[in-house]
Amino acid sequence: MRARNKIRAISGGRQTLTIGQVAQLSGVGIETIRFYEREGLIPEPPRRESGYRDYPPEVVKRIQFIKKAQELGFSLKDAKELLSLRIKPNTTCAVVKTKASQKIASIDEKIQDLERMKSALAKLTTACDERGPISECPILDAVEAGIFQAQSKGEKR
Amino acid sequence: MRARNKIRAISGGRQTLTIGQVAQLSGVGIETIRFYEREGLIPEPPRRESGYRDYPPEVVKRIQFIKKAQELGFSLKDAKELLSLRIKPNTTCAVVKTKASQKIASIDEKIQDLERMKSALAKLTTACDERGPISECPILDAVEAGIFQAQSKGEKR
DNA sequence: TTACGGCCTGTACCCCACTACAGGGTCAAT
DNA sequence: ATTGACCCTGTAGTGGGGTACAGGCCGTAA
């Protein structure tokens, strides 16, 4: 009953991981890892004689990146694109830069939107403090003022 | 005698919208609107004698908010919660504040993660400019350095 | 009054991202 | 040698979030 078994590969000896270890370390299910492999999100790992997948530890970070990207509203396809953005000898720099700056732009947009949401929520708590004769739903007020749409037009409610 | 059917309700006369008009203005399909209604994301609108849904214009902003929230990695359930955060006469202020600050915290986390992604991408373009003997995949480097995991623990970067 | 687009309900179907078996081989401790 | 956890391939099913009809009523310009 050696629970130590689980971390054997990490703490010493062998430098590779089984799929189960990868799953545990990255916080996803085994099936998800095989799914990502099928979808080309993570590379096919080498196999042992037994046919077992033999993972390098880096794959854990890659999977965590994928999960993060998803939480931030990117699809798996987006995540794949992000991960494949790299400088390869025969890729022109211009191409990489173009793609990267597109991604940066879309990230900036998300950040802006999140900031607007955040300030709407902040307004809500403030209104709560003041307990004055304030509208009963500041978020909707913000929404109705077009927080995401009319922002740059200088409109007000 | 009402001409210009499509914008009639918007430009003058009647202050309400048909489902088709709402769809067009908010950039989603008609079926999506009915779906949101079934799911309780937008209130059931009053009906005309004909049975047609008769929307107040505010619903457009509400739908746009829902769409934005989705793009930012919130589920429809999350969006519903965000929209229902309001100060009602019989809701205690404390409850609202607690929920709001939880939402704000999760938004802040998203912003942090996006900033980290962004800087990884920025590094990529810089590396590209310098054309030096730099790693071929800065994003993965960042990932491998645990940009999302080790950050808050004061670990190396 | 007819044509034709818009709206109604209801049901079925679709894509994405998993998740769960079934049936069978592997590995390490007992 | 056996046990039981772990891994394999393959296929099927699930839940979220829509999307697409079918069959039928409404509304209005010609």
Best A58, A62, A71, A92 residue to mutate vs chain B (most B CBs within 10 Å): A71
Of A42, A51, A40, nearest in space to A18 by CA = A51
Per-residue pLDDT of A25-70, as tens digits, reads: 999 999 999 999 999 999 999 999 999 999 999 999 999 999 999 9
CATH fit for domain B1-84, picks 1.10.1660.10, 3.90.1150.10, 2.40.10.10, 3.40.50.2000: 1.10.1660.10
Return the half-sphere exposure (C-beta side, CA atoms, 13 A cut-off) of residue B50: 4
- Confidence band (pLDDT; 50, 70, 90) for A89? low
How long a stretch of residues is chain B? 157
Domain residue extents for chain B: 1-84, 91-157
Distance from the A114 Cα atom to the nearest Cα atom in chain B, whole angstroms: 6
Report CA(A8)–C1'(D17) in Å, whole number: 42
Q: Over the stretch B80-126, which tens digit does the pLDDT of each residue have? A: 999 988 766 656 677 888 889 999 999 999 999 999 999 888 888 88
Mean pLDDT score, B62-72: 96
Taking a C-beta distance cutoff of 8 angstroms, is the pair A121, B86 a contact? no
φ and ψ of A26, to 5 deg:
-100, -5
Q: What is the mean pLDDT of chain A?
A: 80
Q: Which residue has the higher pLDDT, B9 or A132?
A: A132
Q: Do the Cβ atoms of B123 and A109 come closer than 8 Å?
A: no
User: How many A/B residue pairs have CB atoms within 8 Å?
Assistant: 163
Residue B1: what pLDDT?
37
DSSP state letter for B75? -
Residue A122, pLDDT score: 87
- Provide residues 65-94 of A with CB closer than 7 Å to any strand C atom: 66, 70, 75-77
